[in-house]
Amino acid sequence: MSETFDVIVIGSGPGGYVCALRAAQLGLKVACVEKRATLGGTCLNIGCIPSKALLQSSENFHATMHAWKDHGIVLDGVKLDLARMQARKGEVVEANVKGVEFLFKKNKVTWLKGAGRITAPGKVAVNGAEYAAKHIVIATGSESMPLPGVDVDETTIVTSTGALELDKVPDHLVVIGGGVIGLELGSVWRRLGAQVTVIEFLDRLIPGNDGEVAKHFQRILTKQGMKFRLSTKVTGAVKGNEGVTLTVEPAKGGASEQIKADVVLLSIGRRAYTEALGLQDVGVATDERGRVKTNGHYATNVPGIYAIGDVIAGPMLAHKAEDEGVALAELLAGQAGHVNYDVIPGVVYTWPEVAALGKTEEELKAAGTAYNVGKFPFTANGRARAMGDTDGFVKILADKKTDRILGAHIVGPDAGTLIAELAVAMEFGASAEDVARTCHAHPSLNEAVKEAALAVEGRALHI
């Protein structure tokens, strides 16, 4: 036995590394096992951070080409240097992953390099050595979901990982799946000049989001030049000398047709990743979707083994994983860790952005909850007009009787930042009137949030 720890966390994504840091802050002796060459997991290496770097760069390029003329800025000879754009993305990732390494050193968290396998409760093997721990935390994350008949090679048929690495703008990119990742990366390549077609099995985009928001969002993306084939399924993909030929048919069945693409992005969702972790050997139970089963305190059915993040049930989001990491570390240190699953924002980082929080109208209707809706468009917001970013609206759903905010949905400029004030409001159990009576700076995009809160009582001022 090499060394004994209070906690060994397997996986250094936002769930794992944050859990390790918080446990160390609380005085526990902590190790984190990571098999990737760098820390930070999917999020920092091949997920949130590189995708946001490319979204920002492509947005800057697109604005320079198309939006700035309207502001009186005329530039000739604007060119795309994709190699530099990709190199910058690499620099952003490197700064972030090195940052986690620094934080591990600062907090005295030991990085055990290699793949971790649980050999018995309280025992983890890494690279031929065995380590002991009072508590083992599984934070091994997720991987891209495969689709039979569509074989990924990460060059012409890619997952998000390959879509972040393309060294040439494809003429025609076909995205399979109209969810967050497909639409974000589709937007990147659309802005850089690709023709983009999104094929979605369902009859709508971003399933799980408010239906009205999803419809409005699709209209905006269509205006930006994206094409959509909804209620359509992909049944096969054949690679040839000149790209890929996809076979598609109506989701309900019917005549098939072919679509040609230079690059295909497969983004139909992600699934829990537990390969070679030894779960079966130690008897850790998983559910029908391969996720590690946990109770309300992140404990599995095997004493001393816990799990957090994408590998367990719940939204596959970095901040959900982080908050679970903090809560679990606090529980292991004898404190009262807790995550409020009713207030977890979800953001699509296109432009405009889409942000969702709490219940959708569809969910409230299904639950038979009586509610009021307050909506306010960015066309009536002074700051949005000044920015030239008037697409979208803020929508607040509040309990009909108590006025307590039950959900908030924004499609519009910087929606991902705007939603934060409503998250704080919901954490404090605020009513729509509380937000409406809060003084908001003028002129700010947040005034649209205040106006939507006023609109819940039918008294918006600026419309």
Of the two residues 50 and 412, which places its CB atom closer to ligand FAD in the complex? 50
Q: What is the DSSP string of 14-52?
A: HHHHHHHHHHHHTT--EEEEE-SSSSSHHHHHHSHHHHH
- Residues 6 or more apart whose CB falls under 8 angstroms from that of 339 comprise 320, 323, 324, 327
10 lies in the site for ligand FAD, by CB under 6 A: yes
Interface segment toward ligand FAD; rule CB under 6 A; list 139-147, 190-198, 222-230, 379-387 = 139-147
Of the candidates 277, 258, 254, 155, the one whose C-alpha atom is nearest the C-alpha of residue 197 is 258
Q: How far is CA 79 from the centre of its chain?
A: 30
Of the two residues 268 and 456, which places its CB atom closer to ligand FAD in the complex? 268
Give CA–CA dist 262/171, Å, rounded.
6
200 annotated as a binding-site residue: yes
Site string for ligand FAD, 373-402 (x = CB under 6 A): ------------------------------
Site string for ligand FAD, 270-289 (x = CB under 6 A): ---x---x------------
116 annotated as a binding-site residue: yes
The footprint of ligand FAD on residues 146-175 (CB under 6 A) is 160
Amino acid at 26: L
Of the two residues 93 and 150, which places its CB atom closer to ligand FAD in the complex? 93
Owner of token pair 């908001």: 440
12 lies in the site for ligand FAD, by CB under 6 A: yes
Site string for ligand FAD, 171-210 (x = CB under 6 A): ----------x-----------------------------
- Residues 6 or more apart whose CB falls under 8 angstroms from that of 68 comprise 74, 75
Of the candidates 255, 204, 197, 250, the one whose C-alpha atom is nearest the C-alpha of residue 228 is 197
Site string for ligand FAD, 97-136 (x = CB under 6 A): ------------------xx--------------------
- Rounded least distance, CB 398 to ligand FAD, Å: 26
DSSP code for 351: S
Size of the site for ligand FAD (CB under 6 A): 36
How many residues would you count in the chain? 463
The end-to-end CA distance of the chain, in Å, is: 70
42 lies in the site for ligand FAD, by CB under 6 A: yes
20 lies in the site for ligand FAD, by CB under 6 A: no
Token pair of 144, please? 């891209």
- Rounded least distance, CB 115 to ligand FAD, Å: 4
Of the two residues 16 and 358, which places its CB atom closer to ligand FAD in the complex? 16
Interface segment toward ligand FAD; rule CB under 6 A; list 7-15, 189-197, 246-254, 258-266 = 7-15
Of the candidates 257, 254, 284, the one whose C-alpha atom is nearest the C-alpha of residue 272 is 284
Catalytic choice (71, 338, 442, 462): 442
182 annotated as a binding-site residue: yes
316 annotated as a binding-site residue: yes
Dihedral pair phi/psi, residue 356, rounded to 5°: -130, 145
265 annotated as a binding-site residue: no
CB atoms within 10 A of CB 132: 15
Q: Judge if the upstream peptide bond of residue 352 is cis by omega within 30 degrees of 0.
A: yes
CB atoms within 10 A of CB 234: 23
Residue from 5, 8, 9, 14 touching ligand FAD (CB under 6 A): that is 14
Of the two residues 279 and 432, which places its CB atom closer to ligand FAD in the complex? 279
Interface segment toward ligand FAD; rule CB under 6 A; list 21-29, 31-39, 199-207, 244-252 = 31-39
Of the two residues 158 and 426, which places its CB atom closer to ligand FAD in the complex? 158
DSSP code for 3: -
Of the candidates 387, 358, 392, 376, the one whose C-alpha atom is nearest the C-alpha of residue 440 is 376
Give CA–CA dist 266/176, Å, rounded.
5
Active site residue 338: no
- Rounded least distance, CB 358 to ligand FAD, Å: 16
Residue from 34, 391, 414, 421 touching ligand FAD (CB under 6 A): that is 34
The footprint of ligand FAD on residues 299-328 (CB under 6 A) is 309-311, 316-319, 321
Rounded to 5°, the CA angle 29-10-296 comes to: 90
The torsion region of residue 252 among left (phi > 0), alpha (psi -120 to 50) and beta comes to alpha
Amino acid at 127: N
Of the two residues 51 and 58, which places its CB atom closer to ligand FAD in the complex? 51
Give CA–CA dist 230/215, Å, rounded.
12
Annotated binding-site positions for FAD: 52, 116, 140-142, 310, 316-319
Q: Could you list the active site residues?
A: 442
Annotated binding-site positions for NAD(+): 177-184, 200, 269
Annotated binding-site positions: 52, 116, 140-142, 177-184, 200, 269, 310, 316-319
Point out which residues bind ligand FAD (CB under 6 A): 10-16, 33-36, 41-43, 47-48, 51, 115-116, 139-142, 160, 181, 273, 277, 309-311, 316-319, 321, 349
